[in-house]
C-alpha cells in the first residue's frame, strides 16, 4: 500500500499513521478495486473497532504487538471466528466459523487486524483462482490473466494494495504459484513449522499455512508471528519461537546456491530466461552457484496428486449435507469433484498398494533427493511455475492445469520450505523465483530473497 511493511509499521508506532486510518485505507482500496479483482469474499464488520482498540493500546504506550495496526487478509479456508469461512465453495457458503484458527489467534494477539476473507480456488483445488464458487479473481499485476492459485485472492489483494499481509495456505504450491504470477512475496514453511489447527483441509499431510506479503520483511514478520509449536496439535514441530528479522540483512556472500538442469527441461524458455537473470544476480551478490541433481523431480506431480486426492476424499466426508448446506458432491465444481472421485477410487481396499503406497514411496524418494541436494547447497533456486499465467476464461484441460504445479509440488512432498520473490517480467507479466531451502531453512531462504529484493 504504497510503502514497505517496515516503514508502515514505523509510521504506526510513531503515531503518524493510526491503525484506524490504515484499515480505512485498505477498505477504501477494496471498495474501489474489488468489484473488478474479486480478491475478497467477505469483510470483517468489526475491523474498524478492532483497529480502534489497537490505537488505544499504542496511545497508552502499551505493547501493541508485532503486527500492530496492519490490515491482514485471511484465506477463506482459515477459520476466523464469526466470519464466513467458505473455502470459496457452495457447501460452506453459509458456514460461519465458531472458532479462530491458531494462526488467527496469534495474528490477533500480535495486534493484526483481520480485514476480511480472501477469495481462493474452491477448497484450494486449483492453480488459477478460477474454480471459486464466488467467481474468478483477476491479476492486478497482469490484468485479464489468472492470478494463480489456490491463494488467488490473497496474492491479488497484496498486489492491489488492498491489505498489508495475508495468511494463505500452500498444499502443492498454493502460496508460491500466485506469488509468482502476481509479483508478490510468499513462503511455504517447513511442514509442521506453523500450526494448522483451523485450516480447512485440502490434504493434511501437505497443507501449510504461510504468509503472502508485498516484501520480504513483511513475509518474515508474518512468519515469525505465526510459527512455533502448538502443544494441542499432533503434527507441529517442537520449536518454541523463531527469529528471521534480525538476520535478514546478513550478506549472502558465503551462500551456496544450487540450480538444476531439470528446471529448464520443464519450463517455458521465456520464463527460464528471467530466472537465469535472477541467478546471475545472486552470483553477482557473491553467492556461489553450483549444479545439483534432482533426477526424479518430475515424478513429484503425479505422486502429489495421488496422496492429495486420497486425503481430500477423506477430509470432505464431513460435508455430507447434514451439517453444512448441501452435500459436497451435489454442489461442488468439476475440479473438486474430480479430486473426490479420484481419492475415492485410490483409497479403496482393492487398490491398496497400487497408488497410495507407491506415491508414498515417491514421497520418501524425493525427500531423500532434496536432502542430498540441500546437503551440498544452502538453497536451490529455479522457476516457480513452468509457464506464464493464462488469460482468464481460457479453457485448459485438467492435465494442462495441473502442469502449473510441476515445480512446486516436489517441495511439498519433500516437506521442506520454499519462498518466492519476483525475478522479473515477461511482457509485463511477473515471473517469480522459487528459493527452496532445507528443513527449517526459512531464515536462509528469506535472506537470499531479501538480498535479491535489495538489488531490484
Tell me the catalytic residues: 75, 150, 174
Q: Could you say whether residue 399 binds another protein (CB under 8 A)?
A: no
By CB under 8 A, is residue 77 in contact with another protein?
yes
Tell me the C-alpha distance between 5 and 8, whole Å: 5
Residue 92 and residue 109: Cα distance in Å, rounded?
27
Q: Parallel, antiparallel, or unpaired for β 379-383 and 256-259? A: parallel
What is the per-residue DSSP string for 230-262?
A: -TT-SSS-S------GGGTTS--TT-EEEE-HH
In this chain, which stretch among 146-154, 215-223, 344-352, 435-443 interacts with another protein, using CB under 8 A?
Answer: 344-352
Asked if residue 420 lies in contact with residue 180, where contact means CB atoms within 8 angstroms, the answer is: yes
Q: How far is the CB of 411 from another protein (least distance, A)?
A: 17
Among 85, 152, 208, 416, which residue interacts with another protein (rule: CB under 8 A)?
A: 85
Binding footprint of another protein, residue count (CB under 8 A): 42
- Window of 36-44, 196-204, 251-259, 442-450 that interacts with another protein by CB under 8 A: 196-204
Cα angle 105, 326, 207 (rounded to 5 degrees) comes to: 40
Residue whose CB is less far from another protein, 233 or 249: 233
Select the residue interacting with another protein from 6, 204, 392, 426 (CB under 8 A).
204
Residue 412 interacts with another protein (CB under 8 A): yes or no: no
Q: Angle at the Cα of 11 (from 8 to 14), degrees rounded to 5?
A: 150
**Rounded Cα distance, 413 and 399, in Å:** 19
Applying CB under 8 A, which of residues 19, 73, 75, 95 lies at the interface with another protein? 95
Contact between 355 and another protein by CB under 8 A: the answer reads no
CA distance 282 to 383: 14
323 forms part of the interface with another protein (CB under 8 A): yes
Cβ proximity to another protein, 317 vs 456, nearer residue: 317
Q: Tell me which residues in 27-46 interact with another protein (CB under 8 A).
A: none
Position 347 contacts another protein (CB under 8 A) = yes
SS3 of 417-453: the string is EEEEEEEEEECCEEEEEEEEECCCCHHHHHHHHHHHH
Q: Is 310 in the site for another protein (CB under 8 A)?
A: yes
Binding characters for another protein, 221-260, by CB under 8 A (x = yes): -----------xxxx-------------------------
- Min dist CB 320 to another protein, Å, is 6
Which distant-in-sequence residues (6+ apart) come within 8 Å of 193 by Cβ? 208, 227, 228, 236, 237, 239, 242, 417, 440, 442
| Chain centre distance of CA 4 | 20
Phi, psi of 227 (to 5 degrees): -75, 160
Residues 201, 335, 442, 453: which binds another protein (CB under 8 A)? 201
Residue 318 interacts with another protein (CB under 8 A): yes or no? yes
Quote the DSSP letter at residue 297. G
Candidates 5-13, 96-104, 216-224, 365-373; binding stretch for another protein (CB under 8 A)? 96-104
Should residue 203 be labelled a site residue for another protein when binding is judged by CB under 8 A? Answer: yes
Task: Give the H or E element holding residue 152.
Answer: helix 152-159
Least spacing, CB of residue 151 vs another protein, in Å:
16
Helix axes 19-37, 47-59, angle to 10 degrees: 150
The correct pick among 2, 98, 375, 393 for binding another protein (CB under 8 A) is 98
Among 125, 155, 157, 199, binds another protein (CB under 8 A): 199
Using CB atoms within 10 Å of the CB of residue 403, give its burial: 0 to 12 exposed, 13 to 18 middle, 19+ buried.
Answer: middle
Contacting positions for another protein (CB under 8 A): 77-79, 85, 87, 92, 95, 97-99, 101, 196-201, 203-205, 232-235, 310-311, 313-314, 316-320, 322-324, 344, 347-350, 356
Amino acid at each position: 500500500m504504497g510503502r514497505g511493511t517496515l516503514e508502515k509499521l514505523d509510521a504506526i508506532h510513531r503515531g503518524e499513521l493510526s491503525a484506524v486510518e490504515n484499515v480505512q485505507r485498505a477498505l477504501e482500496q477494496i471498495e474501489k478495486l474489488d468489484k473488478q479483482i474479486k480478491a475478497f469474499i467477505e469483510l470483517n464488520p468489526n475491523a474498524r473497532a478492532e483497529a480502534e482498540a489497537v490505537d488505544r493500546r499504542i496511545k497508552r504506550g502499551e505493547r501493541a504487538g508485532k503486527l500492530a495496526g496492519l490490515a491482514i487478509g485471511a484465506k477463506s479456508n482459515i477459520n476466523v471466528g464469526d466470519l464466513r469461512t467458505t473455502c470459496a465453495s457452495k457447501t460452506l457458503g453459509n458456514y460461519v466459523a465458531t472458532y479462530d484458527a491458531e494462526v488467527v489467534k496469534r495474528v490477533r494477539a500480535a495486534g493484526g487486524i483481520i480485514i476480511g476473507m480472501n477469495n481462493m480456488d474452491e477448497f484450494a483445488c486449483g492453480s488459477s483462482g478460477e474454480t471459486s464458487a464466488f467467481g474468478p479473481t483477476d491479476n492486478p499485476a497482469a490484468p485479464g490473466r489468472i492470478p494463480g492459485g489456490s491463494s488467488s485472492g490473497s496474492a491479488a489483494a497484496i498486489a492491489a494494495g488492498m491489505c498489508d499481509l495475508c495468511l494463505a495456505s500452500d498444499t502443492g504450491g498454493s502460496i508460491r504459484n500466485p506469488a509468482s504470477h502476481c509479483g508478490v512475496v510468499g513462503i511455504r514453511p517447513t511442514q509442521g513449522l506453523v500450526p494448522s489447527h483451523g485450516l480447512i483441509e485440502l490434504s493434511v499431510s501437505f497443507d501449510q499455512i504461510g504468509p503472502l506479503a508485498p516484501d520480504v520483511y513483511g513475509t518474515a514478520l508474518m512468519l515469525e508471528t505465526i510459527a512455533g509449536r502448538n502443544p494441542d496439535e499432533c503434527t507441529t514441530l517442537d520449536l518454541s519461537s523463531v527469529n528471521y528479522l534480525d538476520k535478514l540483512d546478513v550478506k549472502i556472500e558465503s551462500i551456496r546456491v544450487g540450480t538444476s538442469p531439470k528446471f529448464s527441461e520443464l519450463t517455458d524458455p521465456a520464463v527460464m530466461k528471467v530466472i537465469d537473470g535472477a541467478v546471475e544476480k545472486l552470483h553477482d551478490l557473491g553467492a556461489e552457484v553450483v549444479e545439483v541433481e534432482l533426477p526424479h523431480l518430475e515424478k513429484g506431480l503425479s505422486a502429489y496428486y495421488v496422496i492429495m486426492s486420497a486425503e481430500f476424499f477423506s477430509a470432505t466426508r464431513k460435508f455430507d449435507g447434514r451439517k453444512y448446506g448441501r452435500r459436497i458432491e451435489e454442489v461442488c465444481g468439476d475440479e473438486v469433484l474430480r479430486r473426490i472421485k479420484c481419492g475415492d477410487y485410490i483409497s479403496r481396499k482393492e487398490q491398496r498398494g497400487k497408488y497410495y503406497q507407491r506415491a508414498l514411496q515417491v514421497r520418501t524418494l524425493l525427500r531423500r533427493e532434496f536432502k542430498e541436494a540441500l546437503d551440498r547447497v544452502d538453497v536451490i533456486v529455479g522457476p516457480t511455475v513452468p509457464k506464464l499465467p493464462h488469460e482468464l476464461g481460457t479453457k485448459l484441460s485438467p492435465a494442462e492445469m495441473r502442469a502449473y504445479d510441476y515445480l512446486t509440488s516436489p517441495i511439498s512432498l519433500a516437506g521442506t520450505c520454499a519462498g518466492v520473490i519476483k525475478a522479473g517480467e515477461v511482457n509485463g507479466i511477473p515471473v517469480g523465483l522459487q528459493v527452496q531451502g532445507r528443513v527449517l531453512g526459512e531464515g536462509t531462504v528469506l535472506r537470499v530473497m531479501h538480498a535479491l529484493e535489495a538489488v531490484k
